[in-house]
Structures are given as C-alpha cells and as structure tokens.
A and B are shown apart, each in its own frame.
Chain A
C-alpha cells in the first residue's frame, strides 16, 4: 500500500512531503504512544500512528527510518514539528479517526503485520 492510499483510507490531510506519498510503500504499521515501543519495532517500511505530537516523534521516525507518521484523533502538531519533519524528509498525515479506528481501518484495507524474516 502506498502512503497516498493510507491517506485515502484514513481521510487524512498531508502536512509535509505530499510529493512522496505516491512513491512511498508501506508494509506495516505501528500504533504507539510510547516512543520506546516504537524504537523496539524492527520491521521495515513502517508507518507510525500516534497521539504524540512533539518533535521527538520525528526524531524517532528518522532514527528507525519510518516511511511516514500519522497523527491520530485530529491532533495538529506545532510549526516546529512540521519544520523538523520537512528537514528530515518525513511525511506527516493527520486524521480525525482515533487510534483504534485508524489501526482497524488500515488493517481492513490490507495493511497487515509482517512476520520477521
């Protein structure tokens, strides 16, 4: 699934790197409000769904090469977060769906869990 399909499924808006949405493939997702849990996630081509909207989310995304970040529950990040994501090449999507619904909708649309190779 591409990021632009994720955007459609979640009726999301894109805040950064709209130009990357078509070309970025997503294999699985990680839904977490604990960044340590995200850091322990060891799959590739992952998007993060989270209710946290501070800059460390973007740092974490950069460290583990997330393909994008989705802010759930209609939360909007500050300009600092947007600027950091622009600088680091991390696409940001925002959806009004809450975490459980967002994960469910993506799972239903075919974005499953990848088993460890």
Chain B
C-alpha cells in the first residue's frame, strides 16, 4: 500500500464498518446500540449519512441522571463535532487526537458523509496489520533468484506500539537470510535494524525503517517524526539514555542502542532536529 507514499492516509487505517444513529432516534435506543456493540460513542447522521453530531456515553449518563431517556438524540448530541477527511494523513489524525482528546473521530468523504470512524487504537492496530501485509508481500518477493540486483523494503513504525516492535527488523533479517548473505552480515544488519526500530518505537511518534539491499551493501535508514535528539554526542556515549522508567523496566533504555548500531555498522550517520531524527547505517556485504 505504500508505493512511494510517505505515511498512510486516514482511509487506510479507519474502521469502515461504522455504527451510526439518526438524530430522531431516542437516547434509550442509542444506549442500547452502544451497549450491544460495546462502543462508547457514535456519529449522528441524517438520512444521507451526512454527519450532524456525535453522541457519547458521557452524554447518555447525563440524560440518565435527568431521567430523560425518551428524549431525542438531536437534543443531547454534540453538534459541530471534530472530524477527519479520508485523505488526511495518519500524522494529522494523531495530532487531532492529541489536540482534542476525544476517543473517536468520524471520517467524512467529500460530500460530508460518514464513511468511517477512527480511534487511536485503530491507528495502532491497522498500522500493525499493514506492516504484516507488507511483510508477506516482501517475503514472497525475496523467494526470487539469489543473484538479485537490489531490493528495497519499507516499513512504517509506530511510536509506543510494543506489540509489533521488532517485526520490521525480523522481516529484514528473514529477507537477508533468504538472499543467502553471510551470517555475520545478517547478524550485524539485524541488530542495527532492531536497535534503530526500537529507538523509533520508544522515542518517536512514527517513522519508517527502510532497508536497501544490493550485492555490495545493506543500507538501513531509520527516519522518524519525533522530538529529536538534543545532544547527539551525549546520546552516542554508551550508557547515556533518556528513556522513561517504563521502558527501562522492559529491559531497554540501557543507553546502548546507538553505540550498538555504530558498532554493527561499517558506515554510520545521524542527523537530528526537533522535528525528527534520521539514521543511516551501511553494512558492507563483503
């Protein structure tokens, strides 16, 4: 899905089976729909599916306190809700998520009809799924002849998603193994890719891990959108880490990530600004 595309769009990650309600339904009906579907809110639409409001559990609790469950949804819904467009990027969706703190955002097409819904956990889950799809495709491609000219594999990495953290490095390792590269090259590339991937997961909001493989060398590029590294020479010192305690409890954040990457690489460069960080790691095949 990511042919030359930087980051996925909202349409790639949203849930398409969106449960909606019309404004002339009663709050009692809304409560039942939400209970049966285990959801905590839903968009309110007109007959053409055009968004006119949103209703949440909090709204319903308010009505229950007032003992007015037969009121119309239109009376209690939030009008002018914040929404996303299908073609917005996931980055924009994440910043909307941070800005508004709502649990969910309706997604509209060009005619303002509700075509999906997006929650932060959707983004995480779908990116993980997309990553998996990428891996299967790439893995199949690697079954080709061993006298390859070059291959590029591109992964999206999502900050703080520990469930899938490491899958990109794992896939890169599999592909290098299938290409029949030397064991030490595979090992160094896998370690560098894994440390770079974990750095994105731990420190950035989102990023990409790109492996470019030629018969001469393996280049791994990790680019992220994140807070950047304040002092690169300090970050390169073994043992220096800015990882939070929860990360350290997982056994990371020992301050060995960048030094390990550098040790694994034949060529290594790092650039960082408050907008993000780019690592380029080159490992010679022979």
Q: Mark B243-267, 1 if CB is under 8 A from A, else 0.
A: 0000000111011110010010000
Q: Mark B183-209, 1 if CB is under 8 A from A, else 0.
A: 000010011001100100000000000
Can you list 6 A-B pairs, Cβ within 8 angstroms, ordered by A? A35-B251, A36-B257, A39-B256, A57-B251, A59-B167, A64-B187
Report whether B162 and A56 are in contact in the complex, using a CB–CB cutoff of 8 Å. Answer: yes
Q: Is B282 part of the binding interface, using a Cβ–Cβ cutoff of 8 Å? A: no
Count how many chain B residues have C-beta atoms less than 8 Å from C-beta atoms of the other chain. 23
Contacts known (A62-B173, A63-B169, A63-B173); A52 close to B195, Cβ less than 8 A: no
Contact of A52 among B191, B251, B260 (CB under 8 A): B251
Q: Is B286 part of the binding interface, using a Cβ–Cβ cutoff of 8 Å? A: no
Q: Which residues of A contact B162 (CB under 8 A)?
A: 54-56
Q: Is A96 part of the binding interface, using a Cβ–Cβ cutoff of 8 Å? A: no
Q: Is B66 part of the binding interface, using a Cβ–Cβ cutoff of 8 Å? A: no
Count how many chain A residues have C-beta atoms less than 8 Å from C-beta atoms of the other chain. 22
Residues of A contacting B: mostly: helix
Report whether A34 and B254 are in contact in the complex, using a CB–CB cutoff of 8 Å. Answer: yes
Number of A-B contacts (CB under 8 A): 68
Report whether B194 and A39 are in contact in the complex, using a CB–CB cutoff of 8 Å. Answer: yes
Q: Which residues of A contact B167 (CB under 8 A)?
A: 59
Report whether B252 and A56 are in contact in the complex, using a CB–CB cutoff of 8 Å. Answer: yes
Q: Which residues of B contact A32 (CB under 8 A)?
A: 251
Report whether A56 and B165 are in contact in the complex, using a CB–CB cutoff of 8 Å. Answer: yes
Q: Is B166 part of the binding interface, using a Cβ–Cβ cutoff of 8 Å? A: yes
Q: How far is the CA of A64 from the CA of B257 in the complex (A)?
A: 15
Report whether B252 and A40 are in contact in the complex, using a CB–CB cutoff of 8 Å. Answer: no
Q: Is B170 part of the binding interface, using a Cβ–Cβ cutoff of 8 Å? A: yes
Report whether B256 and A59 are in contact in the complex, using a CB–CB cutoff of 8 Å. Answer: no
Contacts known (A59-B194, A63-B166, A63-B170); A37 close to B256, Cβ less than 8 A: yes
Report whether A35 and B191 are in contact in the complex, using a CB–CB cutoff of 8 Å. Answer: no
Report whether A36 and B194 are in contact in the complex, using a CB–CB cutoff of 8 Å. Answer: no
Q: Mark B144-179, 1 if CB is under 8 A from A, else 0.
A: 000000000000000000110111011001000000
Q: Which residues of B contact A62 (CB under 8 A)?
A: 166, 170, 173
